[in-house]
Amino acid sequence: MTEPDKPQHGERLSAEDAVDAVGQIAELTKSGMTLAPGLRALAAEAGHGASSRMFRTMAEYIERGATFDEAVAAVAPRLPKHIRAIFTAGANNDQLVKALDELVDLDRDRLELRRQTWLVMAYPTFLLAALVGLFAFLGGLVIPQFAKIFSDFEIDLPAMTELVIALSGRTTYLVLGMVVAAVIVAWILWMLPGPPLLRRMQKAVPFLGPLRRWGGLVRFTRLMAILLEGQVPLPEALRITATAVADPDLSAGCKRIAAHVEHGGSLSEGLALSGSFPPTIVPLVQWGQQHSSLPEAFRTATEVFEGRAETHIGFLDMVLAPFVFLVFITTIPFIIIALFMPLISLIQRLT
């Protein structure tokens, strides 16, 4: 028998690809099909990418008599640390399907939060784009014609008309170019994973920043619940979670709490002292410690943070769209009034 595939240098599945792969393995396990043939079928379906090689390697190890967790260990360098830990914990405690389903649900919830955010932002973004396009048309073609008429007749202009004229012509395109460039840069910075400083700046963005924070807390609490249910030791679970949360403050907080627990401190004390977590989670964890139910405590915290995220999305839906609409319906009349006030004065002079 040929040797199983070895991980290629630098080959590693992304978190998204790994979640998709474990979701397929969960479905394979629930179907009752023998693992080795099923993994080979998944490898054939996946083509020739990293996921295919991972499925094939696992199948070959199992065919050689290895256990499932040994097969997972063989492909461990290709998996993110938290996914590898969930794989192993589920296999060791006969809770593989549940653990993998939880992992897939966690990723789906993250994508659903992102989808809801984009839906809420779509209408205000459309209105702003329409306003920018209309302003470009008026400032580039219409307002300069009015400015020429006012100049030819030497009309004294009110302050609002002077402001509109000052923003027309080349200034219009300069301002719009700066706005578009700023939006593109902001979007790129928002989408990139970036260094910790950039992540902290993203959380400070009005409206959208809190969603990133609540999403990070949901990920933290759900991963902790999954790992603790898999009987992963608490300090190790905290360190594994630190590698999986994108929020640098939460990641650093997890590491500090892990060291605190290893030195004899309690988890609730570590959470309270870390400064990275909201006070809401402390009494829930205290209850979990007193009743030996930490996974349930973290699941309750997950529901709390998911509720906060949904409330914030609802707030954005109620406030942001009406605000942008108000800006839209006041800007256009302002421009029209600014242009026609001098014309009314000119007509009165001529008559």
Rounded distance between C-alpha atoms, residue 135 and residue 128, angstroms: 10
pLDDT attached to residue 203: 66
pLDDT attached to residue 276: 86
Residue 324 in tokens: 């942008």
Least reliable range by pLDDT among 106-110, 246-250, 317-321:
106-110
Cα distances (angstroms) measured from residue 39 to each of 56, 90, 132, 250: 6, 18, 53, 36
Alpha helices in 167-293 (DSSP H): 170-191, 196-203, 209-229, 234-244, 248-262, 267-274, 281-290
Rounded distance between C-alpha atoms, residue 255 and residue 166, angstroms: 55
Long-range residue pairs from 76-79, CB within 8 A, at least 24 positions apart, any chain: 77/7, 77/11, 77/12, 78/7, 78/11, 78/12, 78/13, 78/18, 78/50, 78/53, 78/54, 79/12, 79/13, 79/18, 79/54
Per-residue pLDDT band for 305 (boundaries 50, 70, 90) equals very high
Tens digit of each residue's pLDDT (9 = 90 or more) over 243-275: 888 788 899 999 999 999 999 999 999 999 988
Average pLDDT rounded to a whole number, residues 145-151: 86
Torsion over CA: 92, 93, 97, 100 (sign): negative
pLDDT attached to residue 7: 46
pLDDT attached to residue 300: 95
Rounded distance between C-alpha atoms, residue 251 and residue 244, angstroms: 8
Tens digit of each residue's pLDDT (9 = 90 or more) over 9-48: 446 777 778 778 877 877 777 777 777 888 888 888 887 7
Tens digit of each residue's pLDDT (9 = 90 or more) over 203-259: 667 777 788 888 889 999 999 998 898 888 999 999 989 888 878 889 999 999 999
pLDDT attached to residue 120: 86
pLDDT attached to residue 299: 93
- List strand residue ranges (DSSP E) for the chain, in order: none
pLDDT attached to residue 230: 80
The answer to whether the beta carbons of residues 39 and 59 sit under 8 Å apart is yes
Instruction: Report, in angstroms and rounded to the nearest whole number, the Rg of the chain calculated over CA atoms.
Output: 29
When mean pLDDT is compared over 73-77, 101-105, 114-118, 328-332, the highest value belongs to 328-332
Tens digit of each residue's pLDDT (9 = 90 or more) over 169-193: 777 778 778 877 877 776 666 666 6
Average pLDDT, the chain: 82
